[in-house]
Amino acid sequence: MLTREKIYIAPSILSADFLKLGEEIESVVRAGADIIHFDVMDGNFVPNISFGIPVLQSISEIKKNLQQNIYFDTHLMIEKPERYIKDFSSAGADMISFHLEATYHPYRVIDIIKGEGKIAGVAINPGTPLYSLEPFLGVLDFVLVMTVNPGFGGQSFIENVVYKISELDRIRYQKNYKFLIEVDGGLNSDNARVVVELGADILVFGSFIFSGNRKQKIESIRKSISRSEAVLT
């Protein structure tokens, strides 16, 4: 189970070299990644199509060869996610998040994810206000705060939405909720420190990690956030 005792680094393989996806995953895990973030896009909810169930099934096989316990985090950017939760669960997802904007029945989707024994999260677009999430906060394992409009890697971080992170942190403290806060979009070693200080627990990095030496990139993130982690403990 995920805990609030540490900060999780989650490379998004959307920016990896698909010709050698297996090697890419092994290299970021060796370099210290905790979670593999898997971005599923349907060309409908978002204007792009990425990969889906068979690809997840193949890469899940890698888990058997890994020394440490790695979580596969499936970020569903698809309309009516309730149609596919069981398929992604059987294909090897450990964490599953869907977009609040993509379904009429968020409670039902959370129930399906939990019924599968998986870690359940809800994602919100930059334009979605936090109050629409409030009815679900007590039952969620994590909230995914989007800091770019979903659909593509390599976009610029939208600073104006970071208030959602501190607000979520305040609400969970006040109500004793257990959810973790994941931040996704435009992160690098500089703004990572800022979002951790505001309360983020899981950090997704696509283009930052996969655009250079993976090990050096992950080390630079750890170094940058270590000061904020020290403050947290």
The residue among 24 and 39 lying less far from ligand DX5, judged by its C-beta, is: 39
Shortest Cβ distance from residue 87 to ligand DX5 (Å)? 19
90's tokens: 């059987």
Which is the catalytic residue, given 39, 42, 94, 201? 39
Interacting residue ranges for ligand DX5, rule: CB under 6 A: 12, 14-15, 37, 39, 75, 148, 150-151, 153-155, 184-187, 204-208
Active site residue 42: no
The catalytically annotated residue of 73, 94, 184, 201 is: 184
Provide CB contacts within 8 A for 3, sequence distance 6+.
none
Binding Zn ion by CB under 5 A: which of 38, 42, 46, 75? 75
Contact 122, 98 (CB under 8 A): yes
Among 39, 94, 182, 201, binds Zn ion (CB under 5 A): 39
CB of 91 to ligand DX5, least distance (A): 18
- Which among 55-63, 72-80, 125-133, 187-195 is the span making contact with Zn ion, rule CB under 5 A? 72-80
At which residue do the structure tokens 């393989």 appear?
13
153 binds, among ligand DX5, Zn ion, none (CB under 5 to 8 A by kind): ligand DX5
Measured in whole angstroms, how far is the alpha carbon of residue 47 from the centre of its chain?
Answer: 19
DSSP for 83-115, please give it: GTHHHHHHTT-SEEEEEGGG-S-HHHHHHHHHH
Residue type, 175: K
Residue 1 CB contacts under 8 Å (≥ 6 apart), including other chains: 119
* Smallest distance from ligand DX5 to CB 51, Å: 12
The CA distance from 107 to 27, in Å, is 37
Question: Which residues are designated catalytic?
Answer: 39, 184
Residues binding Zn ion (CB under 5 A): 39, 75, 184
